[in-house]
Homo-oligomer: A and B are copies of this chain.
C-alpha cells in the first residue's frame, strides 16, 4: 500500500503520455482543455505529488536553498535573529515548493566547507550569506561555484544581490531621545570589527554624534556576547570621563553591560542610560526594560528569499530595502544625571 504514485501512474490512468501529464500539471500550453481536465482528475484521484528527486534531476534544480549559520552554538541559542530570519525565509519558499537546508558551523572556515559541499553535491540552488565579514571569502566562493546568493546587510559596494535595512534612522531617533534627555557624552560598545554589521553600527553611532556636533564618547570593543558586555562595562566605567549614556552594538551585550554596571553600583537609568540594538523579546522583560533599536529579521528573511528564488529562476533582481530600524524606548534610558 501507499506505493508511491509516479507520473506514469497518472499517465496510465488518464490514458495519455507522461509528457502530457508533465505539461498539464506544470500549466504549460499545448494541452487541450479536455486532456488537462482528465489528467488533473487522475492526479487528484491518485494523490500524485511529483517527486522532487525526479524533478531535480531532470530540471537540474535542487528546489532547495541553503543557509549556514557560522556561529558557535551558544550564540545561536541566544541570538534571536535566526529564528525570525528563518521563519521569514520559509514563509516565502514554502509557497514555491522550495525547502531550506540548514547547516551550522562554529566558524567561517567550517562554514565555507559546508557551502562548498552544498554546492558540490548540488543540494541547493542558492545560498544566503549572512553575518558578512570584511573581505568575506564566501563572495568569491559562490562566484566560483556559480551559485546564486544573496547577502544580508552587506557593505555598500557588495557585488552580489542583497537585502539591507538602514540602521541609521533608529540610531538617529535614539540620539534624539538621549540628547533631549540631556546626554552629551554617549559611549559605544562595538562588535568584532571583522563583521560588516559591526562596522555599520559603529559608523551610525559616529555619524549621529557628528551630526549633532558631539564628541565621540568612549568606545570599547565587545563581541556581541553577554560576557563581552560585562567586560566592556568594566573598562568603560573605570574611565575618568565616563559617558552618561552608552549604546551597545546588540541587545545581549547591553544586557551584560547593564548587569555589570548595576553590580558596580550604578543605577540604570538614573546614573547611566544604556541602549541596545536588535530588539530581542527578552529585552522587554528585563528590569530596567531595555531601550533598543529594533530590526526586522523576519522581513529580511522574506525579502532575501524572494530575491534568491528570483535569482535561481534567472529573473532580474534588484536589491531589497527593508523598512528602517526603529527606536523602542523602554526604561534603561532616561534623563542624564546632573553634572557632578
Q: Is the CB–CB distance between A285 and B298 below 8 Å?
A: no
Q: A144-B2, A285-B256, A285-B259 are in contact. Are A103 and B90 (CB under 8 A)?
A: yes
Question: Which residue on B lies nearest to A54, using beta carbons?
Answer: B57
Known: A54-B57, A57-B57. A90 touches B77 (CB 8 A): no
- State which residues 102-145 of A face B: CB under 8 Å: 102-104, 114, 117-118, 120-123, 144-145
Closest beta carbon of chain B to A74's beta carbon, Å: 6
A101 to chain B, nearest CB (A): 5
Which B residue's beta carbon lies closest to that of A74? B281
User: With contacts A90-B104, A103-B94, A104-B90 known, is A121 near B49, CB below 8 A?
Assistant: yes
In the complex, what residues of B have CB within 8 A of residue A94's CB? 103, 114
Per a CB cutoff under 8 Å, which of B4, B100, B281, B287 touches A122?
A: B4
Type the 1/0 row for A77-99, where 1 means its CB is closer than 8 Å to any CB of B. Answer: 11010111011001000100101
User: Please, which residue of chain B has its CB at the minimum distance from the CB of A121?
Assistant: B52
A–B complex contacts, Cβ < 8 Å, 16 sampled: A2-B145, A51-B57, A51-B121, A52-B123, A64-B101, A77-B281, A78-B80, A90-B103, A94-B103, A99-B101, A101-B101, A102-B102, A256-B285, A259-B285, A259-B287, A282-B282
> For chain A, which range describes its interface: under 10, 10 to 19, 20 to 34, or 35 or more residues?
35 or more
A76 at the interface (CB under 8 A from B): yes
Are A123 and B99 touching (Cβ within 8 A)?
yes
CA distance A62 to B4 in the complex (A): 14
A300 to B87, CA, bound (A): 23
Given the interface pairs A83-B73, A87-B76, A255-B285, the reply to whether A100 lies near B99 with Cβ below 8 Å is no
B87 with A120: CB separation less than 8 A: no
Q: Are A49 and B99 in contact (CB under 8 A)?
A: no
Compute how far the CA of A41 lies from the CA of B57 in the bound complex, rounded to whole angstroms: 26
**Which residues of the other chain, B, contact A47 by a CB distance below 8 angstroms?**
120
A212 part of interface (Cβ distance < 8 Å): no
